[in-house]
Amino acid sequence: MSTVEVTEGIRGTLVKLGLAAPSSRAFVIGVTAAGLLYLAGQPKASFREDGSMKPLRWLSPEPDATTTHFLLLPVGAAVAGYLFT
């Protein structure tokens, strides 16, 4: 005998995919945002020639500080995903 499971709505789909907890959804959102930024070439502006990460301009007075910090958008997207999903 076989059983047919029916998922209804977005919540049912998220639970079926293993994204029932907000923390797991936030992780997936953050990793997806980081991957998209990487594909777009965003990390180039966030790193120095030697491979070290440039500091965030709002927190550091260094002359090569940048406002396009690589981790800023993925962490922001993950936090928003955690709070609003």
Angle between helices 22-40 and 72-84 in degrees, nearest 10:
150
Q: Are 10 and 61 in contact (CB under 8 A)?
A: no
With cut-offs at 50, 70 and 90, classify the pLDDT of residue 75.
very high
Residue boundaries of the structural domains of the chain: 21-84
| Confidence (pTM) | 0.71
b/e per residue, 70-83, with b = 16+ CB within 10 A?
beebbeebbeebbe
CA distance between the termini of the chain: 37
Q: Which helix (H) or strand (E) holds 58?
A: none
Q: Is the pLDDT of residue 31 over 90?
A: yes
Compute the average pLDDT of residues 68-76: 86
pLDDT at residue 10, rounded to an integer: 82
Higher pLDDT, 12 or 83: 83
